[in-house]
Structure 1
């Protein structure tokens, strides 16, 4: 991998600016005055000047006409169309200097969106909520993507500048302060990173570096050509930038099945190897996760440290989908793959990882999906009942709390939070928030209208049913409706749910996490008479066995087991008739 640095680099000789623009005949650096950049044989343009330092704003002028931001800009104080700002990352004074991270087995994630996590919607405002996370039992704060996007509000997956945290949430030092304060409290901080596409507005690469893209497409636009070593290096250096300069503890790579991986040097492998090198050089523990619809078990190795070509874990969408079908009865779209017998899929996911391990998927035109995953550690699967996608990609952005009964949800939580798999909650889920999380963005003109039309096509049935109640993703009130209402915590039902979550996570910390490092799948049964019974065991480290028995239905069912070896850690002794939505955990 090339050692070349992208973006503006400060040194004693001045600030060096670089732009890869092989299709440009000339490039000027625009400060208070234009400075002609020197063209290199490999398509790079370079200029070093003492007229620029930390805080200087600059642009590049292509062929005397088009002015563009630096694609490796470290900050955009006036959004993606404005000038880039030179940032001195060495000037921040870190306080948590002894922090090196936490083992993967400790991981309990809360996924958050900075702009809606608090009413202020800033990095600084999030700091005030960190003590709540610690008291709840959360060990990892995961931020939805931060790379700069067009407008003032966005989920983050439309980012176009991969090195710049969006200015709507604060300045770079504000983000560092959030991470620093999290580390001082023992919290890891993860970042959702998008390397499968650029957003639809504010990306100028195609005009001066068309080699960045392939003829193939993703669902969001042209595929990025990672066969080009420089393009691959651009993404890898972005990942290292977040981990090194902001001290994130890990990255979750979005929809890696949409990354074009042709060629002998796939991005996913090279990125993981580079992160492994950084972990060795710094003595830190760094975690890499993926979202991958292909269910590639061969990509995962949670116990290899540093990762060296692999990834700790995958968001296990199969687990969510099966539970969602069981809890809500919904069976449209991708849920149809689980509709025939959701309990069977839950059992398979608890006993061997993925729900689909090579079987044909009806939703994917009966194409085989997935690889066998039984040989992996349970730590390779991040399980959840809600996340940003599964809430926000609904027409109304309504949460599970509005779709299923309290008893059923709490049984599902009692299972999810105590399995050997790392659990994840979505912000507010810990108190059963009913606040919607609809899709929102802030595009203008024709693109805004195209987004509106696309949503109407996608949810035409919902629009026919709910009419004007379906939120307009471009309306600012849609964004404000997604902001968490922390006042909900004063309600009795919210405080009761939070107490439940805290109790479950306290058990996880005390009885389960100390034995997870060597955890492996054992065996389980489900779909046997009685059909609603779920019975699973896992082999943990230190000679421990963790056992689950649950009735995941709304009817009482017979308990066929006469012996219950081990010590009860949740639910007490299973009676001869198991009540509806009852969960029992034992350890021996």
Structure 2
């Protein structure tokens, strides 16, 4: 595949840009006269210079006479409208040579927005919290998009340079330092990337080539051209962006935004191409690298291999799990998720995965999805919160601001004991009370007006009684920063320890390290109680996780399996802020096994030999 951009090697730099419909192209280096570039039959303009080093600023001038930043720029030190800068990726001194990644089934994700995770709002700020994250027990940081976007504050989904690291976060060296430091602590690093659209401000791709097509429509405008005229160069551009993060930044994997909005009806699907090229690079680098999809299709083919007709992703987000549980935790959630509300849907989310697997869905006004019952659990990522679930509420409310302390403990157990890969959203582990809003920092006044108005209209559909905060207002961004002093408050400290204990259990109990659906069972008791059973691969160990979402205690019978049930954790114990005093209740259940679970409580029991 052809590498575009400025690619520096000791003593020389090769510049390449794809512009198949342009007649001429010049390279404009700061302080020099423009240099003519040579065009080949595939539409790539190239030139190689021996007196250009790292830090050199440059632009490309297509035959229309204007100069633009490099579409494959690796660094935009002055933002999306400024010059691109040559980067020497060999200059960084990595110390993670022994790092080969973590097995997919071991991953516990923690989603971070770089700008609001710490007061500094930088990669360096995240590094200062790595010991905290390691102590929490998570082992995979998932960064919301860090590709260059307009201004200094943004969720990142308005990115316009898929190869460049945001200048205000710390640039290329800052991200590499974070990855290197995380690997030293045993933490993998994933990036959230956006390949389904490019933000409006600073999007200079149309000045170079046919990157977009009106053959398909997306919520953000024309789709990326993956199968039309001149699409080879577009496929090459985005495929190489994936390889770029893997090779140059030692990233452990990517979460790919809204893959259902990437359309390709060609004989070789774009994700089949990516799978092939990644396979070659994995062999050469010898490190794990995973692709995780966000997809709205409820389709098993996303995580099937290309050989079996799939797209080759190693995992995908399981939105249905969130929706099914959330409406049980907060009945107001039915207004947002009208097709959810039954505890049996939550049970199906545990045993099958997709809740909507071909049923009629009122929201969509059609049947939706296919069964994922045979797909192993480590092919799915589950969560109670993420940037969308929180940030797309008018008040940016986290779960901690919507449900009781007891129900937060239930929610934590629900995902950390699930036969899936769990993900926490930053601050969730201690019940953070700071909101997380949607925010931007555009420079175009008309664009700002459209964003503000569009946000207001979006919330009108949910019948909110107030307008969302102005995304452009810097105070909206400042309010979204985590307040780490909250971890010292009594309830928050208990919730943090609760998460830590659940994570330790997940990492050490053999039943929680088995992801085959045959070893997952669920009993539904009434309308507010569910028992999740997890068995180890050798069938010698079993956990029973009893969830009571009701407002009264319940007595739940347990199977007589020739073993003894021993209580491991009870959210009702005083240790966890519950009403049971030390010594009350039995940890060993004798006779006909049964367990009493307090209102809005969860009890976890281990089955051991008598």
Q: TM-score, normalised by structure 2?
A: 0.90
Check conservation: 1:321, 1:335, Cα contact below 8 A.
yes
Deviation sequence 1:385-411 (CA, Å, 0-9, x none): 100000001111111111111111211
2:578 equivalent in structure 1: none
Match of 1:454 in 2: 454
How has the CA–CA distance of structure 1 residues 415 and 8 changed in structure 2, closer, same or farther, with 3 Å as cutoff?
A: same
Determine the structure 2 residue equivalent to 1:422: 421
Tell me by how many angstroms 1:581 deviates: 2.1
Asked if the contact 2:302/2:310 (under 8 Å) is kept, the reply is no
Q: Pairwise mapping of residues 503-522 of structure 1 onto structure 2 (< 5 A)? A: 503-512=501-510, 515-516=513-514, 520-522=518-520
Partner-residue secondary structure (3-state), 1:210: coil
Distance 1:121 1:301 in 2: 37
Give the structure 2 partner of residue 233 of structure 1. 236
SS for the counterpart of 2:196 is coil
Q: Which runs of 5 or more residues in structure 2 are unaligned?
A: 571-586
Equivalents in 2 of 1:448, 1:388: separation in Å?
Answer: 21
Q: 2:601 aligns with which of 582, 585, 588?
A: 582
User: 1:460-475 counterparts in 2 under 5 A?
Assistant: 460=460, 465-466=465-466, 470-475=468-473
Q: Equivalent residues in 2 for 1:129-528 (5 A)?
A: 129-227=129-227, 228-300=231-303, 310-331=312-333, 334-339=336-341, 341=342, 343-366=343-366, 368-443=367-442, 444-460=444-460, 465-466=465-466, 470-512=468-510, 515-516=513-514, 520-526=518-524, 528=525
Partners of 1:538 and 1:545 within 8 A in 2: yes
CA displacement at 1:51 relative to structure 2: 3.4
* Range with bigger deviation, 379-388 or 532-541: 532-541
The answer for unaligned runs of 5 or more in structure 1 is none
CA offsets per residue over residues 122-144 of structure 1, 9 Å max, x none? Answer: 11111010000010111111100
Cα separation, 2, equivalents of 1:397 and 1:566: 45
Residue 261 of structure 1: CA displacement? 2.2
The number of residues matched between the two structures is 577
Deviation at 1:62, TM superposition (A): 1.9
Match of 2:538 in 1: 542
Cα displacement string for residues 421-453 of structure 1 (whole angstroms, at most 9, x for unaligned residues): 111100011111011000001123101000011
Q: Is the 8 A contact 1:549 1:585 kept in 2?
A: yes
Q: 1:520 Cα shift?
A: 4.4
CA contact (8 A) 2:377 2:516 kept: no
In structure 2, distance between residues paired with 1:451 and 1:95: 43
Deviations, residues 280-333 of structure 1 (Å, cap 9, x unaligned): 22221222211111011122259x9xx995222211111111222111212456
Indicate conservation of the 8 Å contact 1:456/1:463, yes or no. no
Shift in Å, 1:98: 0.5
Contact 2:419 2:512 in 1 (8 A): no
Tell me the TM-score normalised to structure 1 length.
0.93
Other structure's SS at 1:8 match:
strand
Alpha-carbon distance change, 557 to 75 in structure 1, aligned in 2, over 3 angstroms = same
Deviation for aligned residue 1:463: 8.7
Q: Secondary structure at the match of 1:95?
A: coil
Q: Please give the per-residue CA displacement for 1:128-171, whole angstroms capped at 9, x wherever unaligned.
A: 10000010111111100111111111101111110001101012
Q: RMSD in angstroms over aligned alpha carbons?
A: 2.3
Point out the more displaced range, 411-420 or 10-19: 10-19
C-alpha separation in 2, matches of 1:513 and 1:435: 36
SS at match of 2:313: coil
State the 1:42 CA deviation: 2.3
1:464 offset after TM fit, Å? 6.7
